[in-house]
Each structure stands twice: as C-alpha cells, then as structure tokens.
Amino acid sequence: MTRILAALFLAVPALAALPASAQDVVASYAAYIGDRDLFNSNGERLTAPAQVLRQDRANYHRFGIAQAGDEWDPLFGSADNRAAMESMVNAGSIEPGAAQILMSGGAMVLVQIFGSGGVGTSVQVSVAR
C-alpha cells in the first residue's frame, strides 16, 4: 500500500519540476504523521514542520513507534542526521499548503532527500490530499 502511495506522490507534477541545480535523490520515504509525531519527547507541542518531520523519524528509528504507512529510510536512523533535518527542510521545500496539513497531523507525507554520496543536504516534502 505504501509503495502505491509513494508511486502516486512521484506522479505529482510539482515533484518533477526540480531546479536545474538539484542534486541526486539519495533516499525517499513515506510516513504517516500522527498525533504522537506532533509532540516532542517532553510532551511539548511542536511548532514547525521540520520539527514534526524530525520527531516522526525519531519515533520510528529511536523509539520504535511506527504507524501504518511509515516506511524505513536509510538516513534518519542517525541522531546526527535527524538533527540536520531542520536545515535540510530550510534548504529544500514543502509544497504549498502542505505545512499546515502536516502540522495538523493525520497526513501521509512523501519525503525525498537530495544530496550526493549518500549524504542529504535538502528535502522536498509533499502531502497526500
């Protein structure tokens, strides 16, 4: 099911229109952003999409909290890479309107990580509607 969702995301025209300077896709994953992803480990509500994406990956890799639709990724098992998530989001993009949907939870996201040599430098995030 998640592979089908990922294929549908890839068909979105906005994802195909990458800038000429775009790097290689080094990884991608689909994830369901649920209520547990909206709060940090201290129970505080997160306030930015990058924080939610980072918490989702911490929940998945560190705390073993996987929700239906969550996929493994090869980068964010590392705490250092999760810490770099915010700068990768700032260097990349979140499709219009997706940030608000992501911050509300209950959304499937596709995250494509761009970089080179297996090192991510930016992410592009889209949300299923």
DSSP string over 34-94: -GGGGB-TTSPBP-SHHHHHHHHHHHHHTS----TT----SSTTSHHHHHTHHHHHHHSEE
All structural domains of the chain with their residue ranges: 2-14+32-127
pLDDT in tens, 21-75: 558 999 999 999 999 999 999 999 999 999 999 999 999 999 999 999 999 999 9
pTM: 0.82
Question: From residue 41, how far is each of 44, 61, 79, 129 by CA, in Å?
Answer: 7, 14, 14, 28
For position 11, what pLDDT does the model report?
41
**Could you tell me which residue, 6 or 41, shows the higher pLDDT?**
41
